[in-house]
Structure 1
Amino acid sequence: MNIDSVRQYQALVEHSTDSITLVDEAGIVQFKSKSATRVIGYDSDELVGENVFEYVHPEDRPRVREAFEEVVDSPSGTTGMIEYRFDHGTKSWTWMESTLVSRTDTALDGYVINTRNISERKARERELEEERRKYSTLVEQSNDGIAIIQDGDIVFTNEQFERLSGYDERELLGTSFLQVVAREDRELVEQRYQQRFDPDADVPPSRYEIRVLTSDDNHRVVELSVAKIQYEGDDASLAMVRDVTERKSYEEALEEVNAELELLNRMVRHDIRNDMSVILAWGQLLEDHVDEAGRENLDKILASSEHVVELTEIARDYVEVLTSDGDLEPKPVVLAEVLETELALRRESFPEAEFVVPEEIPEVEVLANEMLGSVFRNLLTNAVQHNDSDTPVVELTVERRDDDVVVQVADNGPGIPDPQKATVFGKGEKGLDSPSTGIGLYLVYTLVTQYGGAVHIEDNDPRGAVFSVHLPRAE
Structure 2
Amino acid sequence: MSRSPEPETLVDLAQDKIAVIDESGRFRYLNAAAHRLLGFDPDALVGTDAFDLVHPDDVERVRSAFDALVADGTRPDSPLEYRYATADGDWVWFRTHVFPPAETGLDGYALSSRDVTLEVESRRRLETIASTSPDVLWMFTPDWSELLFVNGAVESVYGITPDALERRPQRFLDAVHPDDRPAVERAMERLSAGESTNLDYRLGPDDGPTTWVRVPARPVREDGEIVALTGFARDVTEEYRRERQLTVMDNLLRHTIRNDMNIVDGTAERIAERVEEAVDTPATEADAPDLGGAGIGVANADSADVDSVDIDVAKLADDLIDHAETVRRVADDLLSTAEKQRGVIDLLRGHEPPQSLRVAPLVERAVADAVGDASEAPADVSVSCPDDVRAFTHPELDYAIAELVENAIEHAEGAATIEIEVTASADRVEIAVRDDAPPIPAGEREPIADRWEMDDLRHTGGMGLWLVYWIADRSGGDLAFDAGADGNEVTISVPDADCDRGFTPAERAAPTVSDDRPTVAGSEAVSESDADGEAAAASAPDGGVEEIDASPGPSPGSTDS
User: Does the TM-score normalized on the shorter chain lie above 0.5?
Assistant: no
Greater relative contact order (Cα < 8 A, sep 6+): 2
The TM-score with structure 2 as length reference comes to 0.37
The TM-score with structure 1 as length reference comes to 0.43
**Structure with greater Cα Rg:** 1
